[in-house]
Amino acid sequence: MAVQRREERKKLGGLKTMPFILSNEVCDRFAVAGFNANMIQYLRNELHLPLVQATNTLNNFSGTSSFTPLIGALMADSFAGRFWTITVGSILYQLGMLGVTISAILPALRPPPCPPQSPSCHQASSWQQAIFYLSLLVTAIGSGGIRPCVVAFGADQLEQDRPNQRTERRWSFFNLYFFCIGLSVMLALTVVVYIQDNVGWGLGFGIPTIAMFISVIVFVVGYPLYIRKKPGGSPLTRMAQVVVAAARKRKLDEPADVRLLYQNQDLDANITTAGRLSHTKQFKFLNRAAIVTDGDKTDTGRPRPWRLSTVHRIEELKCFIRILPIWSVGILLITSAANNFTFGIIQAKTMNRHLAGDFHIPPATLLIFSAISMLLTLTIYDRLIVPLARRLTNHPDGISHLRRIGIGLAISILSNVASALVENRRRRAAHKISVFWLVPQYAVHGVAEGLASVGLMEFLYDQSPESMRSISAALYWLSISVGHYGTTLLVTMVNDLTKKTKQGSWLQNNIDKGRLDYFYWLVAGLQVFNFGYYLVCARFYVFKRLEIAGDPNPSEDAEEKGGANEVCDRFATAGFNANMVSYLRNELHVPLIQATNTLNNFAGTASLTPIFGALIADSFAGRFWTIAVGATLYQLGMLGVTISAILPSLRPPACSPDSSSSCQEASTWQQAIFYFSLLLTAIGSGGTRPCVVAFGAEQLEAQDGSGRKSQAEGSSKDQPSFFNIYFFCIGVSVMLALTVVVYVQDNVGWGIGFGIPTFAMFISIIVFIVGYPLYIRRKPSGSPMTRVAQVVVAALRKRKLVVPTDGTVLYQNRDLDADISTVGRLSHTKQFKFLDRAAIVVEGDMDESTNRPLLWRLSTVHRVEELKSIMGILPIWSAGIFISTATSNNYTFGLVQAKSMDRQLAGGFSIPPASFFIFSSAAMLLTLSVYDRVIIPLARRLTGRPEGISRLRRIGIGLAISVFSNVAAALVENRRRRAAGHISAFWLVPQCVVHGVGDGFASVGLIEFLYEQSPESMRSIAAALFWLSISLGHYGGTFLVTMVSDLTKRSRQGSWLQNDINKGRLDYYYWLVVGMQVFNLVYFIVCANCYVSKRIEVEEKDVEEKGAAQPELEDEDEDEHQHHLQPSVV
């Protein structure tokens, strides 16, 4: 029967599922980008929201979208499974997008257009805003099901590969995943943004909505082909059990011999398919949870999980604790990015966007430079840097995840420096300077994101426990969520504080009256602080270790990620988002700050929901259904935005030609409908974002036709490549969105401009569902949060016990962890030793009637190590938050800058402002290609490492590069301000390119890291963590914009972030972001240096059984199999 099951399993998953997953992700990303890129303009121009309100709205939305993946990841890993979590999340996202589209179509859902000569516009009424916000909320909820599960679900499909193929494909999958996202965003930032700016918001939102619908269909069609792993139970419950057990035994002395701690292979079997986590010396208090005392077992000999935890379960909690400091670095990264994008669009609107003839570049299209830069960065990192670094360092990754994150954080500082300089230049210019002055800040940000964001996701996945991969992905999105919320808080604080000064608020509706450059400098300073914090966290990070029986060599937990419908998804997303600030400003007549914050909140919400989606997918729904539902919801949300742009009743009246000073803002109910549609897309993102990558990787893991091999040779070698491909696809989608869609939005109409991404999203859903018969669909293994909670509770219960020095005595149960450790059980590590107490067997820990452990008293070592993995990757993950913070407002302000610059090309053709962001996508694509094909092979030869450059190094490089993106943005803005006339908008290209390069390093490296280091059963959560960092970053961007605006508007010069960026000091804001990025880079470096990778147990028969597709683990008593287990460090 076991052989039959293996043969049946071999037919599922693999590369054949990648078209469905990646196409779904492409359509999803296209839909998201198509919705979000230009949302600030919709809030400002259609709903007539004030700048601060619009900015905070977007930041809060982004933060929520990145927070919900945490919930989604918990559901996915606990009971729902990744497939169903993605499906439900996609459907919700679809609904939210549909709501936003309808809000843009129906005139009743928008305020009347601004009178031609009226000094003010009628703002959207409360109920109009409520409908719009509700749509945004639904999309954010949908994001919770998508974001944390897609990566992990994709990785599940690769589990059947032979070890050398599995790691290679996995590594390629992560890069491909992000690459596809970049392509989708580029497409959205061009086509969708153009349609939104020039055709109509209804069509402009409708296209991403359709793309999201297609994304859902495509994902669901592939259902029969997916590997659908069963959830391993709630990791939170296991962690709680460890804590409780350790607390109960807090007075016990830890045994000197760690082998005395409780181990139970059977108990941990479902959460240790990749190997049990080895005992670590960190957090020794938790080790008491594995001390066996009277009452820890039942009459049947099974442990009581709330009294006794296995070593593995304790190490799970330790892993989770360890990663938190690293994870937190990403928050400020998102905060910086969120404001850069939002205010960047506003800046673009005041700059010369003329290209040729009557063609003007849509402001949001400038975001494409960031996507291009990230794509280039991913390519170069994957094909040049990693191979070269491998030769130099003999490190399989070439550059470690922590170093990659650190580099990305450092680079991200320069992005805000560039933003500040460019804004200063724009303010001082006598005439409109070219919008291309904004390119450097976007390019630098793209570079930083390619390093820091990818590196952070890689780190979170790699260092999280096996059974918490969805949660680790959700952590990524949580950092994005917190970053966006932080952006909202920052913007609000700055605005409130500065408006009391003589100069007025830094962030005024007229950015020429504000000091946006001051705000950028503030963000740069925060980034510098964040970088320093990261360096400290990285320095002390302890990597998780994984026991692999019979294999004395170090090994890694090498689960893969997938994402094919990602192309349509990313295209839809980019088409929606790239030019959204223009839609908010020009169609809804929303003030700059309000539009910026609206977009940041939307982005934060869309990156927050993947947490929920990952939990749903990993817990019970599975990744396929989570993606499908999330894509559907996203589709509905995009459709709502499209309809909002089409129907005049859902928008305020057009501004009167005789009155250019002010327009009637969208009414409350018009804004409500629009925001509700955005909310639906954010909710839908919660189902797609965390699951697509993991779902795609699952298809590649299914091709294992031989025995398991030491993963040190292959795991890291293949995961980065996978992520590069993923991001490359995303970059291509974004480039397309930033050109075609943005142009349509700016020159044809917002209805068509939104409609194209909506249609692309529809195609994405169709394509994804069509591949259903080919997918590997892993059954969810139960809530990972439950397991985490069980570990914590068990550790707390045994907090008085002494953690044994010999980790082999801790409780192991292969059968119990079977469903959550198909790749191997996590080896015991010495970090977070307190959690080890959850695996100490004491009296009462076992059910005497069944001899099974009481999970709230006793956890296995694997489950403890799952928590340890999550804890360990959090600091690395956190470094990615500020990437999103810096990026979010870079796009927004870059678009505003582009609109104020010369975008003429020839024959009256003007480049849409949002299309400039295609340079970021192109740079990311090129970076991914060069990285994958040049740098990695060269680094392999130089370092001997399979992956060439480690995930942490890749993230660090991306973070460092992203700093230069904001530096370029600041310089360009300064040049634009000082120019006598409109300078060319191509001044914005450098910042976009640098951003794309940084994104190609950091973002891909982060998602690789998160996936690799997260527990096997929490892959969706690992992906959700990636989106969570984006969510936190966008919220941080909202906070940053608000704070800078409030603080600076009290000065004599007025707010840095005014509606008229010529009156503000956007360059100062960019410099502020640069400083924050530098701090974030330092913080990442510290966290990376201290990070301890997880270890997986390799069994002897796994090495001896050559030709076996899925070696079966023998059921042995822990005393009988102890001599077979040899811990090996990842």
What is the tens place of the pLDDT at every residue in 769-798?
Answer: 877 777 877 777 677 778 888 888 888 888
For the residues of 530-584, what is the DSSP string, one character each?
Answer: HHHHHHHHHHT--B-EEE-TT--S----------BEHHHHHHHHHHHHTTHHHHH
DSSP annotation of 108? G
Residue the block writes with tokens 């059990």: 241
DSSP annotation of 240? H
Mean pLDDT of 723-736: 71
Cα gap 1063→1083, rounded to integer Å: 34
Sort 346 into a burial class: Cβ within 10 Å, 0-12 / 13-18 / 19+.
buried
Task: Say yes or no to pLDDT of 147 above 80.
Answer: no
**C-alpha 945, offset from chain centre:** 26
Mean pLDDT of 956-964: 88
Higher pLDDT, 187 or 540: 540
Residue 151, H or E segment: helix 150-156
Task: Say yes or no to pLDDT of 67 above 80.
Answer: no
What are the angstrom distances between the C-alpha of 298 and each of 308, 422, 815?
11, 68, 17
Task: Say yes or no to pLDDT of 261 above 80.
Answer: yes
Cβ of 1118: how many Cβ atoms within 10 Å?
25
Mean pLDDT of 385-389: 81
Cα gap 779→1036, rounded to integer Å: 36
Of 1020, 956, 976, 85, the closest CA to residue 470 belongs to 1020
Higher pLDDT, 1124 or 751: 751
* The two structure tokens encoding residue 454: 């990818």
Q: pLDDT class for 709, splitting at 50, 70, 90?
A: very low
Of 631, 416, 635, 403, the closest CA to residue 527 belongs to 416
Mean pLDDT of 1035-1054: 78
CA geometry: angle at 28 spanning 85 and 486, to 5°?
80
Task: Say yes or no to pLDDT of 551 above 70.
Answer: no
Sort 1107 into a burial class: Cβ within 10 Å, 0-12 / 13-18 / 19+.
exposed
Quick one: what percent of the chain has pLDDT higher than 90?
Answer: 0
The answer to whether 940 and 946 are in contact (CB under 8 A) is yes
pLDDT at 82: 82
Mean pLDDT of 562-566: 48
Cα gap 677→865, rounded to integer Å: 40
Mean pLDDT of 895-924: 77
What are the angstrom distances between the C-alpha of 1107 and each of 167, 461, 825?
17, 28, 21
pLDDT at 165: 45
The answer to whether 623 and 76 are in contact (CB under 8 A) is yes
Mean pLDDT of 1058-1067: 81
pLDDT at 568: 63
Cα gap 155→160, rounded to integer Å: 10
Q: What is the pLDDT of residues 1079-1109, one digit of tens each?
A: 888 888 888 888 888 777 755 444 333 333 3
Task: Say yes or no to pLDDT of 712 above 60.
Answer: no
Q: pLDDT class for 717, splitting at 50, 70, 90?
A: very low
Q: What is the pLDDT of residues 624-682, one digit of tens each?
A: 888 888 888 888 888 888 888 888 888 888 877 665 556 788 888 888 888 888 888 88
The answer to whether 423 and 1061 are in contact (CB under 8 A) is yes
Task: Say yes or no to pLDDT of 1129 above 80.
Answer: no
Q: Would you call 454 helix, strand, or coil by DSSP? A: helix
Cα gap 660→459, rounded to integer Å: 50
Cα gap 894→917, rounded to integer Å: 9
Which residues sit opposite 125 in a β-bridge? 668
Q: What is the pLDDT of residues 85-140, one digit of tens each?
A: 888 888 888 888 888 888 888 888 888 888 776 667 788 888 888 888 888 888 88
Cα gap 754→42, rounded to integer Å: 11
Q: pLDDT class for 562, splitting at 50, 70, 90?
A: very low
Cα gap 539→876, rounded to integer Å: 11
pLDDT at 1112: 35
Q: Residues with Cβ < 8 Å from 1123, sequence gap 6 or more? A: none
Task: Judge if pTM exceeds 0.85.
Answer: no
Q: pLDDT class for 1124, splitting at 50, 70, 90?
A: very low
Half-sphere exposure of 322 (CA within 13 A, CB side): 53
Cα gap 131→109, rounded to integer Å: 8
Nearest-Å Rg of the Cα atoms of the chain is: 25
Task: Say yes or no to pLDDT of 558 above 60.
Answer: no
Q: What is the pLDDT of residues 568-591, one digit of tens each?
A: 666 767 666 666 767 777 788 887
pLDDT at 715: 42
Task: Say yes or no to pLDDT of 81 above 50.
Answer: yes
Looking at residue 207, its amino acid is I
Q: pLDDT class for 701, splitting at 50, 70, 90?
A: low
Please give the backbone phi and psi of residue 259, each rounded to the nearest 5 degrees, phi first. -65, -15
pLDDT at 590: 80
Q: Residues with Cβ < 8 Å from 216, sequence gap 6 or more? A: 24, 87, 90, 91, 94, 627, 628, 629, 630, 631, 632, 634, 635, 761, 762, 764, 765, 766, 768, 769
Sort 806 into a burial class: Cβ within 10 Å, 0-12 / 13-18 / 19+.
middle
Length of the chain: 1130
Cα gap 870→872, rounded to integer Å: 5
Cα gap 228→9, rounded to integer Å: 10
Task: Say yes or no to pLDDT of 424 above 60.
Answer: yes
pLDDT at 167: 47
Half-sphere exposure of 132 (CA within 13 A, CB side): 52
Cβ of 539: how many Cβ atoms within 10 Å?
15
Of 616, 595, 612, 677, the closest CA to residue 643 belongs to 677
The answer to whether 770 and 1084 are in contact (CB under 8 A) is no
Q: What is the pLDDT of residues 741-767, one digit of tens each?
A: 777 777 777 888 888 888 878 877 877
The answer to whether 714 and 172 are in contact (CB under 8 A) is no
Q: Would you call 816 helix, strand, or coil by DSSP? A: strand
* For helices 668-700 and 711-747, angle between their N-to-C axes, nearest 10 degrees: 150
pLDDT at 908: 67
The answer to whether 150 and 623 are in contact (CB under 8 A) is yes
CA dihedral 1083, 1087, 1090, 1096 (to 10 degrees): -170
Looking at residue 925, its amino acid is L
The answer to whether 320 and 863 are in contact (CB under 8 A) is no
Which residues sit opposite 626 in a β-bridge? 86
Residue 998, H or E segment: helix 989-1013
Q: Residues with Cβ < 8 Å from 990, sequence gap 6 or more? A: 418, 439, 440, 441, 443, 444, 968, 972
Which residues sit opposite 191 in a β-bridge? 742
Of 17, 285, 342, the closest CA to residue 158 belongs to 17
CA geometry: angle at 281 spanning 718 and 1085, to 5°?
55
